[in-house]
């Protein structure tokens, strides 16, 4: 068996073909959205003196996060296609 070393020019062209990543990371955006919604929920219970149903709020939060994840996946797939 002969061992060959890869040519350095092919390694450089491989890294040059991948564009640099830009934009906001989806995970950071979703965690920020969750933190914002929890803060608004806490603020609304103090200022408006009402008690929202935690189960309903959890279901709504899970739905919003799911929609954000699906949208991010579609956007990422569309960006890779270009």
Q: Are 51 and 45 in contact (CB under 8 A)?
A: yes
pLDDT score at 47: 92
pLDDT score at 6: 56
Q: How confident is the model at residue 20 (pLDDT cuts 50, 70, 90)?
A: low
Mean pLDDT for 16-30 is 70
User: Model pTM?
Assistant: 0.51
Instruction: Please write the tens of the pLDDT for every residue from 38-81.
Output: 898 889 889 998 888 889 888 988 898 889 889 888 888 887 77
Going from N- to C-terminal start, the domains of the chain cover 24-81
């Amino acid at each position: 068996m002969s061992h060959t070393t890869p040519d350095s020019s092919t390694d450089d062209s491989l890294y040059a073909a991948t564009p640099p990543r830009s934009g906001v990371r989806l995970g950071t955006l979703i965690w920020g959205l969750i933190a914002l919604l929890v803060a608004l929920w806490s603020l609304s219970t103090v200022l408006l003196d009402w008690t929202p149903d935690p189960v309903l709020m959890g279901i709504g939060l899970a739905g919003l996060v799911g929609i954000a994840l699906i949208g991010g996946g579609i956007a990422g797939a569309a960006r890779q296609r270009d």
